[in-house]
Amino acid sequence: MSFSILVVDDEPDVAEMFRQRFRREARQGTYVLHFAASGEEALDKLSNGVRPELIVILSDINMPGMDGLTLLREIKTRRPDLPVMMVTAYGDDERRRQAEAAGAFQFLTKPVDFELLKEELRRLPDGSV
């Protein structure tokens, strides 16, 4: 059984990094990674449907166009149960508070600790491998 993870970040290298980090899991078929370079693209992907089943969205906060917090609120109106993890270089309390208020599942700071991230993913509903 494999699950999809959608990573939203305007930096193209983020995709490469996630691919390499999740190389083993991808090979094993645990997770399928999807990438969106903007909030708008992420919403498009969401409405087009993601296969296999999407269990989490990881989103940057500072992005040109729609920012991560707006995206978060938009996702929450469409898919209230879908966990969204905010990943940002700005770990200040204000953003953390806003993210929590908007219903973020988790708040991670860059640089991303992938071991911790994988741990978190395993604890997701339907995410246990």
Q: Which residues bind another protein (CB under 8 A)?
A: 11, 13, 17, 20-21, 89-94, 110-112, 114
Task: Count Cα neighbours of 124 within 13 Å in the Cβ-side half-sphere.
Answer: 27
**Distance separating alpha carbons of residues 64 and 28, to the nearest angstrom:** 34
**Distance separating alpha carbons of residues 124 and 72, to the nearest angstrom:** 18
Grouping H, G, I as helix, E, B as strand and the rest as coil, residue 90 is: coil
Query: Smallest gap, in angstroms, from Cβ of residue 80 to another protein?
Result: 29
Query: Smallest gap, in angstroms, from Cβ of residue 81 to another protein?
Result: 30
Q: Which is nearer to another protein, 17 or 82 (CB)?
A: 17
Q: Which is nearer to another protein, 54 or 58 (CB)?
A: 58
